[in-house]
Amino acid sequence: MKPIVCALALIALVPALSHGQSRVQRTADGKPDLSGIWQVMNTAAWDIQAHNAQKGVPAGPGVVDGNELPYTREALTKKKSNYENRATADPESKCYLPGVPRITYMPFPFQIVQTPAQVTFLYEYAHAVRNIFVNTPHIEGQLFWWMGDSRGRWEGDTLVVDVTDFNDETWFDRAGNLHSDALHVVERYTPLDADHITYEATIEDPKVFTRPWQMSMILNRHKEKNFRLLEYECFSF
């Protein structure tokens, strides 16, 4: 019986690996290896919520869990005014650093460089950089950084990044969704297989939202031969 059981077990395994999935690569210290060049395949850059197409804007289902954003009344008024004035009011239109999580789902690739103590994100957009320091505390005192202060830790195979110390000058998208300098983002990067990462972000901002909310999406590995980051030096044009 035993050989038959083994054969059946093998047959059972084959479908799991036959859909183009491959195992998550690991670093020397056993952590998932997130190194590589990644990019989303969604329309969150235009609007993180569900939206119809407009000229130059592809329709999309949105990336917000449950779709609704729990704005306070004042913040909702601000959001509507941001939307009306988005052509000039969007910080992206001024080529400013886009903040977190917005940088993740802009229509540009980014490269992850991973060491045990530091995971560095290099973005094609404006040479933006995020240094995620692993197992270290946030800098004391309040900073007002465009990209925040990022501190990472591994929970099993998930890189959890706690981001604080933002300024209030960035948006979540081109639709005017906003936050304050009280923004607190917790990102979770969980490899799905060798070429996909599940990205989840929990957003807290008591000055703007009545409760925390979440977004999620997939990061796709660029597998084109010799693929590399080029440049989008926004304010040089």
Partner 1 sequence: MNVSRSEPGLLLAAGIATIALLWSPAVSGQASKNRPVIAGCPSVSAKFHPCALEKAKTFSPPRMPDGTPNLQGIWDAPLAMGFQNIEDFPGDRSPGGFGPAVTVIVDPADGRVPYFPWARAQREENIKKYIDPYAQCLPTGVPRQMANFRTRQITQSGSMISIVNEAGGHIFRVVYMDGRPHLSPAFKLWMGDSLGHWDGNTLVIETTNFNGRWWYDSEGHFASDALKVTERLTLVDPDTLHYQATMEDPKVYTRPWTIVFPLERIKEKGYEQMEEACHEGDHDAAGFVLGGYQPYLGPRFPQ
147 part of the interface to partner 1, by CB under 8 A: yes
111 part of the interface to partner 1, by CB under 8 A: yes
153 part of the interface to partner 1, by CB under 8 A: no
User: Of the two residues 141 and 156, which places its CB atom closer to partner 1 in the complex?
Assistant: 141
Encoding tokens for residue 64?
A: 């917000």
Q: Which of 70, 146, 182, 188 binds partner 1 (CB under 8 A)?
A: 146
User: Of the two residues 55 and 225, which places its CB atom closer to partner 1 in the complex?
Assistant: 225
182 part of the interface to partner 1, by CB under 8 A: no
User: Of the two residues 165 and 200, which places its CB atom closer to partner 1 in the complex?
Assistant: 165
Which of the ranges 4-12, 180-188, 204-212, 221-229 carries the binding residues for partner 1, by CB under 8 A?
Answer: 221-229
- What's the rounded Cα separation, in Å, for the pair 3 and 60? 50
User: Of the two residues 149 and 200, which places its CB atom closer to partner 1 in the complex?
Assistant: 149
Q: Which of 82, 104, 114, 164 binds partner 1 (CB under 8 A)?
A: 114
Which of the ranges 79-87, 202-210, 211-219, 225-233 carries the binding residues for partner 1, by CB under 8 A?
Answer: 225-233
Instruction: Tell me if 177 sits within 8 A of 69, measured CB to CB.
Output: yes
235 part of the interface to partner 1, by CB under 8 A: yes
**Using CB under 8 A as the criterion, which residues of the chain lie in contact with partner 1 when the complex forms?**
28, 35, 95-97, 111, 113-115, 118, 120, 122, 126-129, 131, 133, 136, 143-147, 169, 226, 228-231, 233, 235-236
